[in-house]
Amino acid sequence: MLVKLARCVIQSADLIAYEDLQVRNMVKNHKLAKSISDAAWHQFRCWLEYFGNIYGKVTVAVAPQYTSIDCSSCGRQVKKTLSTRTHKCVCGSELCMDENTALNILAKSLRTVGHTGIYAWGQNDLCLDLETS
Ligand SMILES: [Zn+2]
């Protein structure tokens, strides 16, 4: 199931960005503990990177700090709790929290790719994992 999902994700975009989540910390949180398995997330990431290589797509792991707090439109920090599902900012931006987070992750990843050089595609390991750099 994870394999299928990973391949589907890779085939759907040219650049795949995801949060470099510290699953161990999340599992400590009782509300999330049931839905997140350390092993499953790690495995999914491995498959993402594997298919990224095969299909010539770039996978980027970005630091998870502020991705859910920052406003994707103006950059202001909007505090949220785990139960907050809507991102609402004074600049007028109002959208689903996950969507706001995704936009922030994408923006972060584009900055990362810009720094490391987009021309490295196909020559080196396609996985630009911040964890190892
Ligand atoms: Zn805003």
Q: What is the pLDDT of residues 26-64, one digit of tens each?
A: 555 555 555 556 667 778 888 888 999 999 888 888 888
Look at residue 107 in the predicted model and tell me its pLDDT: 87
Q: What are phi and psi of 58, to 5 degrees?
A: -95, 130
- Which amino acid does the sequence have at 118? I
Distance 106 CA to ligand 1 centre (A): 17
What are the residue ranges in the chain where pLDDT is below 50? 116-133
| pLDDT in the model for residue 59 | 87
Whole-number Å distance between alpha carbons of 26 and 3: 23
Q: How far is the CA of 93 from the centre of ligand 1 (A)?
A: 5
Phi, psi of 104 (to 5 degrees): -65, -40
Model pTM score: 0.68
Helix 38-55, helix 2-12: angle, nearest 10: 40
For the chain, the straight-line distance linking the first and the last C-alpha, in angstroms and rounded, comes to 30
84 CA distance to ligand 1 middle (Å): 16
Say how many Å lie between the CA of residue 75 and the centre of ligand 1. 6
Nearest-angstrom CA–CA distance, 34 and 121? 38
